[in-house]
Structure 1
């Protein structure tokens, strides 16, 4: 091959790659968050997309679409053109517990393209400080001696707080009365007032009450101890194998997105999560960064959907809309 043909061949190979890299994104990216503005889910979206946008060289426009437990946002996303300009912050409710416990007008796997995991916060088993236990063994013994007399609050039927406690009940055989509330705040009010005795909320919501001594933490979910509760053992350490129920967040797009665009989005999202300041920013919501490839995140969603669907069937949890 002569010199001219050699360099022409190199140019021919590199131009499509350069073209793809430069052509996307060439306008702002719509990022749908399936909750109202102001909460932890929304904060995570804004912190991540601000820095993610810098690496992509484009702005993310965060759009809050609350309603229907994430159904409205999910439908908007699945119906969007799969060109990489409409993404959504999927989380454990939209792509885990909701499809498992009720009929939703979307398939959490077939109707979406996984982009990447952002991170997760553990759930923490807590008891009111007046409950005379200091560890898991004591609590299980106490609950068995008072079978049917202890109650637990949740953020509502089918919520992660509900499903995690149902998983715990399935593992232990404990008889605890479920008191569903409309949100985690009223559930905490009654726990603090000893109207209920225990709960399995996310660490972000529970942390202030643990620190104040109003509730006692017995165990956390997840693969390792939380850096915010280093003295509290994991469920795994206590013998509950695979008990890693967590409040997680990730990014998805509509089904059918180009592999090149997914790869670019995933690589820049992973790079964003590895920025030194991101761990500190996400720690405000007790979220630990958990970067994954798009393929790994897709498998994670499948596992979550399967796990919660199996539990819902086993515990006869099927909600009517």
Structure 2
């Protein structure tokens, strides 16, 4: 029995030593950074900023790959089943903890199937409307929607997306009977909003910055409890009379479950350093987000809380796949 214990202990020591050596040499080949959304969207923009900075600082290419579909679950499943060696990473948004409540069954667990590297950024969404909509503020928009039941539409990047849930929560809290129109990505939703095919959308700050100053869209409110620094004149939904509405979209970096802690720590440390660099801060500000790096442990706890929170939103708003 003693010899077996000694053999097991020796094996454990060797495994730890191997993991330490692996982390010291990491990365020694290109790293895949999977974005489970279409190109051009909120998550994709931040992934490309981070990928470029990580490539420069760690001396290996962080290659962004878009694997869109099924409310981010296709790309997430790919990473959940990838080798836990740090060479396949996943950038997720709030959608990651929304999808389990939208889809009847997932081939992975949103928490247990992954190792959290850390939180990256936070951002509000913006309630945008087409100029043809005769509403100058949120209360007028709510009144208009109630006077024209289900004639006013809101576009999203797809069923179960954060955009979908932001709109669903607005409908549930205000009683405004907006009709949801899901697209296959935020770019398509934004294009049809600008064209006037749909009347409104809860979209990322970058979409607002690209369209509002030119008068192509109107920004009525932001979804967070505080105003967006990029849009200081746009009120929060709470300021606009929707009491208790406070929701942000966040991005986090995940790896497959079982990824060596040394590699996770190295990535987390590097990300925190990059997020505090002035040039990265400016690039992220221009992209409409604020850096909010965290430890793996803090983000794991936060994701678990968000899973519960958005589950309640889905239930209260009666949101289902369409």
Sort the TM-score into its range (normalised by shorter chain): 0.7 to 0.9
314 and 276 in structure 1: CA distance in 2 versus 1, 3 angstrom threshold: same
Q: Distance in 1 between matches of 2:301 and 2:23?
A: 30
Alignment equivalent of 2:280, drawn from 278, 281, 284: 278
Q: Distance in 2 between matches of 1:199 and 1:50?
A: 30
Alignment equivalent of 2:292, drawn from 278, 290, 297: 290
88 and 216 in structure 1: CA distance in 2 versus 1, 3 angstrom threshold: same
Give how far 1:137 is off. Answer: 2.7
Deviations 1:175-206 (A, max 9, x none): 22333344444544554454543222222223
Q: Distance in 2 between matches of 1:112 and 1:183?
A: 24
Q: Distance in 2 between matches of 1:184 and 1:59?
A: 26
Partner of 1:11: none
Give how far 1:307 is off. Answer: 2.4
Q: Distance in 2 between matches of 1:197 and 1:183?
A: 17
Give how far 1:171 is off. Answer: 1.0
Q: Distance in 1 between matches of 2:60 and 2:244?
A: 39
Contact kept in structure 2, 1:25 and 1:58, CA below 8 Å:
no
Q: What is the count of residue pairs matched by the alignment?
A: 302
Alignment equivalent of 1:311, drawn from 310, 313, 320: 313
TM-score of the superposed pair, with normalisation by structure 1: 0.81
Give how far 1:295 is off. Answer: 1.7
Partner of 1:25: 26
314 and 122 in structure 1: CA distance in 2 versus 1, 3 angstrom threshold: same
22 and 319 in structure 1: CA distance in 2 versus 1, 3 angstrom threshold: closer
Q: Distance in 2 between matches of 1:263 and 1:173?
A: 46
Partner of 2:206: 204
Deviations 1:184-229 (A, max 9, x none): 4454455445454322222222332211213221111224321221
2:230 equivalent to 1:228: yes
Give how far 1:291 is off. Answer: 1.2
2:95 equivalent to 1:121: no
Gaps of 5+ in 2: 1-16
How large is the Cα RMSD of the aligned pairs? Answer: 2.9
TM-score of the superposed pair, with normalisation by structure 2: 0.81
1:135-150 paired onto structure 2 within 5 Å: 135-150=137-152
195 and 65 in structure 1: CA distance in 2 versus 1, 3 angstrom threshold: closer
Partner of 1:264: 266
